[in-house]
């Protein structure tokens, strides 16, 4: 589930509560202990992503972060931080896209093996 896909929900939380809680508030409705939460932030310092990671950790989710540069505040909060230690945001985003593709292909390969 991509928390970024629910634009009306994001807008409602941003207007009524604050932009920093747009992901954490959605997790309160959907996440359960043991779920996998993956956060992506090039700088590692996006307040709404960091707050969502805090919430996911607080309820016992497994956590992965995709970060860049020095990992920011987000990197150390994740159980697994895949950090792209370069300054160029375009290169960070390209590396994150490649990681997401590899994760997707892993699941497609697993499904093909069970079919």
Residue 48 lies in a domain: yes
pLDDT grade for 112, boundaries at 50, 70 and 90: confident
Tell whether the torsion through CA atoms of 38, 41, 42 and 43 is positive or negative: negative
Domain count, the chain: 1
- The reply to whether 28 falls in a domain is no
Residue 67 in any domain: the answer is yes
- Give per-residue pLDDT as tens, 31-68: 999 999 999 999 999 999 999 999 999 999 999 999 99
Residues of the domain holding 83: 33-114
Q: In this structure, is residue 78 part of a structural domain?
A: yes
Q: Number of H helices and number of E strands within the chain? A: 4, 3
Q: What is the CATH number of the domain that holds 88?
A: 3.40.50.10490
The first and second tokens of residue 4, run together, are 């970024």
| In-domain check, residue 60 | yes
């Amino acid at each position: 589930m991509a928390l970024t896909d629910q634009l009306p929900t994001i807008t409602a939380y941003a207007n009524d509560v604050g932009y920093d809680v747009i992901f954490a508030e959605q997790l309160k409705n959907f996440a359960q202990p043991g779920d996998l939460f993956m956060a992506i932030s090039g700088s590692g310092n996006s307040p709404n992503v960091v707050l969502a990671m805090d919430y996911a950790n607080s309820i016992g989710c497994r956590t992965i972060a995709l970060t860049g540069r020095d990992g920011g505040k987000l990197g150390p909060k994740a159980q697994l931080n895949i950090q792209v230690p370069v300054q160029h945001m375009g290169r960070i985003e390209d590396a994150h896209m490649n990681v997401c593709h590899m994760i997707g292909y892993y699941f497609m390969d697993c499904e093909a093996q069970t079919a």
